[in-house]
Amino acid sequence: MEKKTADTIQVICENTNGTAEVPMGTTLLELQAILHVEGAYPMLAAFVNNRIKELNYKIYRPVTIRYIDITSFAGIRVYQRTISFILQKAVQELFPDRTLYIRHSLGASGFYCEISGFAPIPAEHLESIRTRMREIVAADLPIRCTKMRTEAVRKVYEEFALDDKIALLDSRPRLYSKLYAIERTPGYFYGALTPSTGYTPLFDLTPYYNGFFIALPLRTAPERLHRTVHQEKMFDVFRQYQSWVEIMGVPTVGRLNSKVLEGDASELIKIAEAFHENELAKVAARVADANRRRSVRLVLISGPSSSGKTTFAKRLGVQLRVLGFNPVLISLDDYFVERVQTPRDENGEYDYEALEAIDLKQFNDHLQRLDRGESVAIPRYDFITGTRQWHDNPLRLDDRSILIVEGIHGLNPALTPSVADERKFKIYVSCFTSVALDNVSRIATSDNRLLRRLTRDFRTRGSDALATLSRWESVRRGEEKHIFPYQENADVMFNSSLFYEISVLRPFAESILRTVPDTVPEYGEARRMLKFLDNFIPIDPAEIPPTSLLREFIGGSSFKY
């Protein structure tokens, strides 16, 4: 090792467990070569003192570094952002009078996109875009990030008629803002990108509905694309809500912020809640119809973490009572085995997302006994102590009863093998975020759900931000394995998102996230979420009704949990 001088700094690399003395101003990309950081896949970015940085970031003080590739959740987001920027550049060059919209995620890894004026997009246009994107990737063009006065950034956006980005800038005024650029093409992103376009060679475009599907590598198998999309039900839900937020005039955060600043938050809350109530009534009507046609008495509600399954189940029960039924609710969470018996994942952590975390034998025994008309005592799981408790309020079904069971495994056939499929009504609930940051920067549904979970678990389960964030990747891996493969089995899907909710969640989540120290890896995710939340004008929750699904997370619900 070279002797340290006043112009050199020490760097610790977690990937290699090595150290190096390097000149001040060394980039992460240069340091990667010095430290011989290699892997099965290219490094896309790095965490510097637990903050994610792009590879052209320069180091001027002693730091600890951890490089990431596409197999991490943070890495796949870097890949997705970069390819989105490349797509934006290709469309802007080929069709300067059109607008690209990256609508939402679709499939295991990919997005549904549309271009204004094309419905559907002609095959030759799609081929032109694909070809131009491959040229941009092959050219390995640098992706620059410049911090400049916001008024200068605004002028650049005006030159390219990027009204969606201007609306965001105007509603969240700052003296300085970041401007990303590939050559002259400007962009806005709230997360890291690769240093150049050559890092994202694997993608494809295929026609889908009125637009196209951009297929991307799988995080769990980066060497191949996930080309097949079989999510028609989910796509229909996204399409319905996308149309609705556009009619409401809040398709992007900038437009939403403008409405809030104009004093329209109260009206937005009322309309969003009324829409939920209307959709719930439709679901209840379908359950009633299934009961008449095929004697359905079991409603199974599934969905990923913090999708609002519990409140949805309770509100569905209210709607079914209006139709003359006697709903009985059970939560699968109450059938968790004792914490010491919970299976562990590959990292040795408790795997609450595994089907084996549920006491299947006892659960199915209770189902059969209830179906026979017997009285059954239901357990209650204590998330703080990790133990099951029993209460003296047994359940019994009568002739008008419908049993509602909610839990992440609701759509997995292995949960209820003793019940004939035609006697089940299956519902998938998730938070399909319909508002976007701008036309090409979508809001991941997982981010929306994480904000909900942070807020709820801090309030009700004794979990601070560090505990929730440290488990989040395990939760998401469990969802990929145990929940998402069964979502299209649903008879109906319900979007639990409320387009105003992140503005309400912001002050709750911010105070929780700020407690994460910079000494832990979770600090990077906390900082990313804080930067994301800063795009939203806060909304006072005072006018949110006590039956709102959002009350499950922020408190003040009239339902008992």
135-177: pLDDT as tens digits: 999 999 999 999 999 999 999 999 999 999 999 999 988 899 9
Distance, in Å, from the CA atom of 466 to the CA atom of 472, rounded to the nearest integer, reads 10
* Confidence grade of residue 242 (pLDDT, cut at 50, 70, 90): confident
Q: Which of 62, 8, 84 is nearest to 438 (CA)?
A: 84
Residues 56 and 102 in one domain: no
Q: Is 377 inside a domain boundary?
A: yes
DSSP E strands, 14-115: 18-23, 26-27, 45-48, 51-53, 58-59, 63-68, 100-105, 110-115
Residues 471 and 333 in one domain: yes
Q: Which residue has the tokens 């609002």?
A: 308
DSSP E strands, 88-161: 100-105, 110-115, 143-149
Of 38, 69, 100, which residue constitutes the final position of a domain?
69
Q: Is 559 inside a domain boundary?
A: no
Q: Is 308 inside a domain boundary?
A: yes
Q: Which of 351, 365, 392, 373 is nearest to 477 (CA)?
A: 351
- pLDDT, position 384: 80
pLDDT in tens, 55-79: 999 999 999 999 999 999 999 999 9
Of 20, 36, 69, which residue constitutes the final position of a domain?
69
Of 69, 90, 109, which residue constitutes the final position of a domain?
69
- pLDDT, position 1: 43
Domain with 500, as residue range(s), is 234-554
Residues 192 and 283 in one domain: no
| Mean pLDDT of the residues in the chain | 93
The predicted model scores a pTM of 0.90
Q: Is 141 inside a domain boundary?
A: yes
In sequence order, which residues have a C-beta less than 8 Å from that of residue 233 and are 6 or more positions away?
428, 487, 488, 490, 493
Residues 545 and 445 in one domain: yes
In sequence order, which residues have a C-beta less than 8 Å from that of residue 197 and are 6 or more positions away?
82, 86, 136, 137, 139, 140, 141, 143, 182
Does position 226 have pLDDT exceeding 80, yes or no?
no
The CATH code of the domain that includes 189 is 3.30.980.10
Count of domains forming the chain: 3
